[in-house]
Each structure stands twice: as structure tokens, then as C-alpha cells.
Amino acid sequence: MNSGNIFRSFSSSRRQFLKQSAALAAAVGVAPAALSAAAGRANAATGAAYADELWEKTKADLAGMSDIRMDLNLHSWEGYTEEPVLDPFSRQTGSNVNPQMLISDPAAVNNLRGGGTSTWDVINLNNSWQRNQLFPEGLITPLDKDKFAPLYDMNVAGFEWPYHWALDQSGEHLLGMLQRYGPAGLAVSTDAVDPQTIESGGYMEMIEGAKGQYGILDYENWVIMHTCMASGFIPFREHTADEMAKFEENIFKLFENAKKVSDDQAALARDMITGEIIGTYPGSVYTVSAARLEGETQLVNVVPAEGPEETKTAERPNGQGGIVWIEITSLVNNPNPTPLAEAFLIYCHTPEAAYKVAAKAPGTLNPVVQMGAPEVLSQFSQDELEAVHWGEEGSWLASLVDRCVDFDINPDYDAMHDLYTQAKRARGA
């Protein structure tokens, strides 16, 4: 790593970029209050105190229970599967946690469909799966709303109670708890390219303007989703034949023009640092945060300033060009449930655990919605906040998120995945 990069973080181009990002966010209608997401809600502090109290009570209740299963089987994204998060929980409850990391949301959903409900107790997925698939199919169980709703007081603005993706379609049942989230668009090195050029030119600026100079971060479903956005429509609805044709054209162009394709975000970050590539498609806060923590603050997440026509509203005349993912953790409808599952969700809301979920995952740091609570936010160092694009009182991150549509399910995923694999193979033709 280049220790000199710490100085680059204060370069004029970056300062200018930050200023203009904030200005752009304001221009697209982000109210100052929303930009100050870090301030969170008025009763955020109450939420954190409630989390601590609830955790203490939960531990006492667990200690008084007999004949309960003391194994917790966890199926989740990285961040929840690491020792810094799991060890204190195991130690304080005397339980044994068996974590299995996800490789993709659809794979995890199909694991549950294929009989995984007998194995897993807790499932952590990106938003929309719970509301649209898992709960209607009886694969997860609702949470005790009275007990868990007050924890939403910890959340940053935009994720307050009642939160759309955490509730079932009737709005009656609470399906899970939010924690990590992040905007996704592109990632660039400000040493190699002016981020404003990419921000204003959007995805096609990288695909066509940076031909042969960018890498594809090969998380297949995300490549597909962002190529929909690049093609001028959102992925989360059925698509016309013309739209599918546009998608096909752009996905082939994307792979043809890429210099590298890798699912190793750290390797691609290294390539950006060495100048091998100028940026990645797609890119998110989490794909560059580890490098930024090491002082490589020239790597930044950029969300296109303009989104597809259908995302443009009176409030947001430029629309939304990125996609924000929000992880939701739920209780699996296990026929042999354990109270440890609910306890784990409560534990993750204690300020110390929330911080570890955010900052102690291997190779990445992510913001958590609980950063709306001062008790959580205060645990982050300045470098960690810089790594997650926090900005002045959370304004940088909030402006990126504001330019994103919420992640959802793509009904044309199968057909698009076929085109994606064809385009990828065609690189070697």
C-alpha cells in the first residue's frame, strides 16, 4: 500500500468532488435534514439504551430456560459470520454458533426451499426476498413487533419505523431487522479518472469512454442489475422485447470492453491502486472500503447522477442511477426453533455488536443503519468513517443512497442471466 496516498485524500480534485457531490445531492432534492443522516432520529439514543436493556433481559431469560437447543445455525453474508461478532454472543449465552456464509441471495433462498428450514435458524439476505418470497412461502416467521420495533429508533434517516422492506405486504408482520446497507454504482480511482466525468456520464461513460481500462466486479446478479440501469430501465419489473434487446447489446459491449473480470473485490481494488484499471463495474462502498481504510482514499464509490426515465419524479428530476442494498436478518421457520435466534437479532443491535458487524468483516467495511444512534456512531474511528464514505455528518453516504433505487427481485433474471453468460463466454471467442 502506498502510504503517500493519505495525502492524496486531501487533494484538490477530491475536495472538489466531495463539494460537488454534496451540491448535486442538494440539487436533486435531498433536504439538509436528510443529508444529516448521522443525526438520525430524535430518539436514537433511546433506541440504543433499549437495545442494551433488551439484551440484558434476553440473556437473563435464556439463563433461566431449560431444554432449549443451544446451537444457533446462521446463514448469512460475511460480517455476521466472524469471530469478533460471534464470540461475544457465544460467550455470553453459552451457545454454539454455526455460521455458513452466503454465496448469493438466490442460492440461499433455494437452500431454504430445498429443506434448509430444518437446518438454519437465522437468515440474512438483501431486502425484498423476505417480503416477496420467503414470508409468502412460509420459510420465515415474523418477529415480535412490540419487542423489536423500538430498535428502529437507532436507524439513520430513511430507514425509520415502519420500514417498507422489513414488513410483509399487509404491513402487519415484522419480517426482519435491518443492519448493513450500501449504495452501488461504480467505483473509480480518482488518480486515474475524474469521478465527476463518470458521475455525469453514467455507466456508459465507463463502458464506452473507458474501453479496455475497467474491470468487471463479477457478482453476476449485480452486473445484470447495473446493466439494466445502464440500458435505461430499472431491473425490478418485467421488460419489453426492445428492453431485452438493449440489455443484450449493452451486456455484450460491457464484457467486450472490459480489461478484467474478477469476483475478487480486493484484487480489483489492488488493480485500481496500481493503475492497472481505472475503475470497476459495478462498485459499491463495500468494494473499496477496506482499501480506503488502508489509506487508499483515492478509491471512491460513484453513483451516476442521472437515472432511467422511470425513476425521475418531481422530487428527483434526475432520477436514481444506482441501486441500494439493505440486508435484513430474519428468523427461519425452523420446525425445531431455538430462542437463540431471536436473541442473536437483539444482540446485533447492541452498540458494540452493531459496530463490529459494520467494521470487523473480513476485507470490507459497511455502514449500518444503527449509525443513527450516537452510541454506535461514536465507536467508529475517523478513518473508518472515511472508509464508508460517511462525510460531514453522514452527508456523503446519504447523497449516494439518495441517488439509488431500492434493491428488488428481477422477474427477467433467468433470461438476462443467459445473455450475461453468453456475453462472458464471447470474450474468449
Partner 1 sequence: MTEAAIETLTQEPERPRRKILPWKLSEGFVAALPIIILLFIGFIGPMALVLIYSFMPRGSFSIPESPSLENYVDIVEQDFYISFGWSLFLAFISVVILLIACYPLAVALRRVKGRRAHLLTLLIVAPLFVAENIRLQGWVLFFDKGGFLDGALKVVTGLETGSLVNNVPAIVFGICYIYLPFMLFPILLGLGNVPREAREAAYDLGGSRWRVFRDIELPLAMPGILIGSLLCFVISLGAFNEAKFLGKGVIVTVAQDIESAFTFGQNWPRGSALSVLMIVLAGSAVWLAMRRVNLDRMLGKR
Residue 372 CA to residue 140 CA, distance in Å, equals: 27
Contact criterion met (CB below 8 Å) for 36 and 394: yes
Region near partner 1 per CB under 8 A, out of 177-185, 278-286, 316-324, 419-427: 419-427
Apex 387 CA angle, 382 and 392, nearest 5:
55
Total residues binding partner 1 (CB under 8 A): 37
Give the distance from CA 148 to its chain's centroid.
21
287 binds partner 1 (CB under 8 A): no
Contact criterion met (CB below 8 Å) for 348 and 151: no
Residues 6 or more apart whose CB falls under 8 angstroms from that of 83 comprise: none
Site string for partner 1, 209-238 (x = CB under 8 A): ------xx-xxxx-----------------
Q: Of 16, 274, 378, 381, which one interacts with partner 1 (CB under 8 A)?
A: 274
104 binds partner 1 (CB under 8 A): yes
End-to-end C-alpha distance for the chain, whole angstroms:
36
42 binds partner 1 (CB under 8 A): no
CA nearest to 248, candidates 405, 429, 105, 412? 412
Region near partner 1 per CB under 8 A, out of 152-160, 192-200, 253-261, 293-301: 253-261
Region near partner 1 per CB under 8 A, out of 49-57, 90-98, 160-168, 252-260: 252-260
Residue 363 CA to residue 287 CA, distance in Å, equals: 9
Residue 290 CA to residue 288 CA, distance in Å, equals: 6
Cβ-based nearer residue to partner 1, 110 or 378 = 110
Q: What is the 3-state secondary structure (H, E, C) of 120-169?
A: CCEEEEECCHHHHHHCCCCCEECECHHHHHHHHHHCCCCCCCCCHHHECC
We find the least distance from the C-beta atom of residue 86 to partner 1, in angstroms, to be: 24
103 binds partner 1 (CB under 8 A): yes
Region near partner 1 per CB under 8 A, out of 30-38, 106-114, 138-146, 329-337: 106-114
Region near partner 1 per CB under 8 A, out of 11-19, 140-148, 270-278, 308-316: 270-278
We find the least distance from the C-beta atom of residue 252 to partner 1, in angstroms, to be: 11
Sign of CA dihedral 229, 328, 83, 108: negative
Residue 422 CA to residue 418 CA, distance in Å, equals: 6
Residue 153 CA to residue 177 CA, distance in Å, equals: 12
Region near partner 1 per CB under 8 A, out of 170-178, 261-269, 280-288, 296-304: 261-269
410 binds partner 1 (CB under 8 A): no
Q: Of 9, 161, 261, 383, which one interacts with partner 1 (CB under 8 A)?
A: 261
Cβ-based nearer residue to partner 1, 74 or 258 = 258
Identity of the residue numbered 204: M
427 binds partner 1 (CB under 8 A): yes
169 binds partner 1 (CB under 8 A): no
* Residues binding partner 1 (CB under 8 A): 103-104, 106-107, 110, 113-114, 215-216, 218-221, 258-263, 267, 270-271, 273-276, 414, 417-418, 421-422, 424-429
